[in-house]
Amino acid sequence: MKPEIAFILGALADGSLSKREEKGEYCIDFEQSNKYWLENLAKNFERCFDKDFKVTEKKKGIYRLRIFSKYIFEIIVDYKYKLNQILFEKTDVKKNFLSGVYDAESSVHKSRYAIAFYNKDKNLIKISKKLLLDFGINTGKIYNDKRNNVQSFSIYGKENLLKFRNKIGFTHPDKKQKLDNLLILGRPLEQSCRA
């Protein structure tokens, strides 16, 4: 698997696949407030499929990357159904997958050394947790939010966050900045509250 495909598969955690066979429409769709991140994602598609893809403004402050192609759609769907194969790929493929996943579906805590990851796809949660361990990054246990049908787990502690930044990292500029600020300037809430 190409590292670019792995990044796309990870980013799909915040994207959608839809098809209307009767009309011959096959669409891969991403929406984001950060245009730069979508342009980076488009470049991953371009490197894999040798075709230009444009990011458009859906409405003020919201951008969209839409790919209409049965050929690309079917390739991505095929990889998505075999997602467990990522566990046996090379390190750069695993890294790119996790980078895409964390760009798409994580949040960096403002004042504690923590990155939370949420998703409805239980398999994606399990795969991501296992892959992080391959990089020596420890995580908390998986929590079930039955009301919203979502699972989550977090990376805790400055040491684990440093490993994440150095071994995987964000390509999403906003999340990258938040993590850098936390690691350089931040103090965990628990320490700052102690007398």
How far is the C-alpha of 14 from the C-alpha of 172, rounded, in Å? 13
Among candidate residues 35, 68, 84, the one where a domain is terminated: 84
Q: Per-residue pLDDT for 150 more than 90?
A: no
Provide the domain limits for residue 58: 3-84
Nearest to 117 by CA among 95, 99, 136, 90: 99
Report the CATH number that the domain containing residue 165 is assigned in CATH: 3.10.28.10
Please tell me the total count of domains within the chain: 2
φ, ψ for residue 117 (rounded to 5)? -130, 125
Residue 94: what pLDDT?
97
Q: Per-residue pLDDT for 156 more than 50?
A: yes
Same domain? For 75 and 99 the reply is: no
Residue 193: what pLDDT?
34
Q: Which of 91-100, 145-154, 183-192 has the lowest mean pLDDT?
A: 183-192
Same domain? For 67 and 42 the reply is: yes
Work out the pLDDT band at 186, boundaries 50, 70, 90.
low
Same domain? For 109 and 181 the reply is: yes
Work out the pLDDT band at 187, boundaries 50, 70, 90.
low
Q: Per-residue pLDDT for 143 more than 50?
A: yes
Q: Per-residue pLDDT for 122 more than 70?
A: yes
Average pLDDT score over the chain:
89
Among candidate residues 58, 84, 110, the one where a domain is terminated: 84
Q: Per-residue pLDDT for 194 more than 50?
A: no
Same domain? For 94 and 61 the reply is: no
Same domain? For 42 and 98 the reply is: no
Q: What is the distance, to the nearest Å, from the Cα of residue 193 to the centroid of all Cα atoms in its chain?
A: 32
